Structure 1
Amino acid sequence: MRIDKAMLVGAALGAAMLGGCTMNNGSGGGSEPSAVADLVTANGQSVGRATATATSGGIQIMVDGRNMPPGPHGAHVHTVGRCDAPTFESAGGHWNPDTKKHGMQNPAGPHAGDMPNLDVASDGTGTLTFTLPGGTFDGLLDADGSAMMIHAGPDDMRTDPSGNSGGRIACGVFRRA
């Protein structure tokens, strides 16, 4: 086989382009495991995405919301990976493997899935990044999975079991990215 200069340049360009890419399949090799949850309302409208990434300190959750009602909303990881409309009760309660009380301001808390409120701007968008300390990726994606839940109102960060955050308005099941 004859190799010419154009083939060598093409191979070098391809290698350079691939050099900056990484695959995140959760199998190690330098990549941290990750999972995504596409958030939908009870009528199936897409309202954002949550991304979970394993870190040395737990699991970092990034929520990117859109087309949501303005204001603060309780945001929690729930214990079951199901989002059956219209109430999303199939997702169970907050992820709580250590059987603690709800709320980051509760002396007997928090649940492993408790997070700060998602603040949604007047244009319907909001972002939240928070690390669930001590959470494990294996726990997040256990046999029955887990779900990201957005509630109608703000979480008061102390009232058990849900922070008085109201109904469940958006839900997404975490799946490996």
Structure 2
Amino acid sequence: MGFGGSWKGLGVLRGFGGFEGVWGSWKVAALGGPGGVRGLLRFLQLSPERCLVDGAVSGLPPGPHGLHIHEFGDLSDPCNSCGGHFNPDGESHGGPQDQHRHAGDLGNIWADAEGHARFRIEDSKLKVWDIIGRSVVVAEGEDDLGRGSHPLSRVTGNSGPGLACGVVARSSEPLVLQLLRLL
């Protein structure tokens, strides 16, 4: 899978966490969706201004797909119950390089011809301690980064419904190894 590095954590805990004061603790989200879409994302706070998002998703239609952190970790109606994009600052939707955007706007990932997307994103707005217990959603289509003419462009990037989603949780090595076997 090529994730390299060591897995760190204190076990699985769902809910909202506070600042831990320790850089280097991975958080994970295992993704699932209809049609065999599944994946694993890891989040690592590198510094107060840099969060690393490292992931792999399989079973996607080839092409670009929006990647977003959503408000809630509620998967009771799979990706439909996750709420809107995580947006603590009340900004409009934008791209990952935009100064003004939702904290949960991570841009697009690209699935190859076999439906596999592997990615590594460094983000300046995302804080790991703010997203524990929230959901990650891979959208059906490309995120227009808030630059389109559709009315949903400045709200969701007009990327369509979610294809796969999962809850961000603290990680433990045994759990992560089990999840990696599923990919």
Q: Report the TM-score range of the alignment, normalised by the length of the smaller protein.
A: 0.7 to 0.9
Moved more, 100-109 or 129-138: 100-109
SS of 1:160's partner is helix
TM-score (norm 2): 0.73
> How far 1:65 sits from its partner (Å)?
0.9
Distance 1:171 1:72 in 2: 16
Distance 1:47 1:166 in 2: 18
**CA distance change for structure 1 residues 46 and 155 in 2, over 3 Å: closer, same or farther?**
closer
Greater alpha carbon shift after TM alignment, 150-159 vs 46-55? 46-55
Distance 1:63 1:22, change over 3 A: closer
| Structure 2 residue identity aligned to 1:166 | G
Matches within 5 A, 1:17-166: 24-25=8-9, 32-42=24-34, 45=36, 47-56=38-47, 57-86=49-78, 88-104=79-95, 109-141=100-132, 145-158=133-146, 159-166=153-160
Instruction: Supply the AA of the counterpart residue of 2:66.
Output: G
Structure 2 residue aligned with 1:176, among 170, 178, 181? 170
The 5 Å alignment of 1:8-19 reads: none
* TM-score, structure 1 normalization: 0.75
Query: 1 or 2 for the larger relative contact order (CA 8 Å, sep ≥6)?
Result: 2
Larger Rg: 1
What is the percent sequence identity of the aligned residues? 29
Structure 1 CA distance for aligned equivalents of residues 73 and 34 of structure 2 = 15
The superposition leaves residues 54-80 of structure 1 with CA deviations (integer Å, 9 ceiling, x where unpaired) of 111232112201111111111111111
The Cα shift of 1:23 comes to 6.1
Deviation string 1:7-53 (CA, Å, 9 cap, x unpaired) is xxxxxxxxxxxxxx966226767x6121111110046x451111111
Unpaired runs of 5+ residues, structure 2, are 11-19, 147-152, 172-183
**For residues 2-13 of structure 1, what are the structure 2 equivalents within 5 Å?**
none
Structure 1: 4+ residue segments shifted above 4 A: 26-29, 105-108
What is the letter of the counterpart of residue 167 of structure 2? Answer: V
Which blocks of at least 5 consecutive residues in structure 1 are unaligned?
Answer: 1-20
Q: Indicate the RMSD between aligned Cα atoms, in angstroms.
A: 2.5
